Structure 1
């Protein structure tokens, strides 16, 4: 019983801190109330575009945007940057799972080159994801 109370307190405290972050951002600059009203619309539009690729990516995008809503108020372009990052990731995963990239069998040069290109692309996506995460 006590553990469930601690979990509930943690959830309520997290929600309270989320609302406080939004209130502080609006108190610093009252014009940000416009972002509070427009950001959910932009988030929904980007999520609809992401849904064309994967429902899991859409759920992840919604959760990131809701969890980091106070950061969106600091820089409204994050909604678009995060959305583009999720779309690029969903396309990359779709390419890999649809076997568009030739499989590695180790006997021919084409499979070795495709493996090197795949490694480079995955590494580049990782660097871009880290850059988006830090922005």
Structure 2
């Protein structure tokens, strides 16, 4: 994990392995900032959705029990949203390096769409 101080805030960049390990341990809340369409097609199982277009830092859950880790498709939008959260007064935020593309490239499990039925299915 890389850590950067931005004023009084801490901005962290996590690897997909770190995110998966923390999710399995129940230590993080993963928030997907992609569009609802992207999320419905495929997403990390257990990730919440807060699209970048509708992002409100004050609506983020508290982090007393679990760290927030944002992600998008490539890491670009989640970094931008993380920095917007810091600008809005959040003092600690993280995002996943490489986004969902890196998650899939690392062969991590996710929820995809069965193209034959249109139904969600686990992809491992």
Query: Same fold judged by TM-score > 0.5?
Result: no
Question: Normalising TM by the smaller chain, what interval?
Answer: under 0.3
What TM-score do the two structures reach when normalised by structure 2? 0.27
The normalised TM-score by structure 1 is: 0.25
Work out which of the two has the higher radius of gyration on C-alpha atoms and give 1 or 2: 1
- Structure number having the greater helix percentage: 1
- Work out which structure has the larger RCO, using CA pairs closer than 8 Å and 6 or more positions apart in sequence: 2
